[in-house]
Amino acid sequence: MRSFLATGLRLAGLILAFGLMAGTVAEARSVPPGSYLRSCRDAQVRDGVNLAAFCATRNGQWVVTRLNDFPSCRGDISNQNGQLWCERRPVPPPPQPGFGPPGSYRQTCTRVEFRNGVLSAFCLTRAGNYQPSVLNTLTCQPGTDISNQNGQLWCRPRQQVQPPPGSYMRTCRNISLGLGGVLRAQCQRVNGSWNPTALNMNNCGNYRDISNQNGNLACF
């Protein structure tokens, strides 16, 4: 009789502790999946984001445990010797003023470096990991936001600049005009070989033509 009474008192104490620990009435919400269900019982969701349960310890005892904010868990929720446990998603780093150009990427990127127009950082992916990313900001359209797109630095690219006309186009290929006004191409020499060449258009002034002079761009 005494043994039965003692067992009943212990059970009542656990139930009371479970209620006091939760502090609120359990909600009718499905408990999250996880390996803890194999060694825990009476799992309940409290306040919409907190998980409470009776979980077994290694020595076979049942204890009351609680895991706050389980939606922020990454992966499995397990029972660690009577304690609910999970790996948390990393918290995005705070903005780093003074490093690099402005942009929304600052909210989810860290270890920002900026040199000669090249922006590099470690940015958060949707999977919760940080990965390195590099962006040449000289290719960004002026005034556009630099953002983090699933771990990659991104901006709206500038509109492509059309190269200037000239007779060089008949014997040159892979022609492009850079942002600094530098015209680049591969131009054919007299012997038929192709030579990579560049011409700074800022030095041409009021030119009449851009020509291919034996594999080299020239303006006159």
- CA nearest 209: which of 161, 162, 160, 169? 169
Is position 121 within any domain?
Answer: yes
Pair 8, 84 in one domain? yes
- Dist CA 109 CA 94 (whole Å): 9
What average pLDDT score do residues 194-211 get?
Answer: 89
Question: Residue 118 above 70 pLDDT?
Answer: yes
Pair 177, 204 in one domain? yes
Is residue 162 very low, low, confident or very high in pLDDT (cuts 50, 70, 90)?
Answer: confident
Complete DSSP assignment for 4-32: HHHHHHHHHHHHHHHHHHH-SPPBS-PPP
Is position 160 within any domain?
Answer: no
Pair 144, 195 in one domain? no
Look at the alpha carbons of 114, 117, 119, 120 in this order and tell me if their dihedral is positive or negative: negative
pLDDT at 95: 47
Pair 130, 74 in one domain? no
Global model pTM greater than 0.85: no
pLDDT at 65: 95
CATH number at residue 114: 2.30.60.10
Pair 7, 84 in one domain? yes
Pair 143, 211 in one domain? no
What average pLDDT score do residues 194-218 get?
Answer: 91
- For the stretch 25-57, pLDDT in tens is 444 468 999 999 999 999 999 888 899 999 999
Question: Residue 183 above 60 pLDDT?
Answer: yes
Is residue 4 very low, low, confident or very high in pLDDT (cuts 50, 70, 90)?
Answer: very low
Angle at 161 between CA 158 and CA 163, to 5 degrees: 160
Is position 159 within any domain?
Answer: no
Could you tell me the residue range of the domain that residue 114 belongs to? 104-154
- For the stretch 105-114, pLDDT in tens is 988 988 888 8
Q: How many domains is the chain partitioned into structurally?
A: 3
Is position 148 within any domain?
Answer: yes
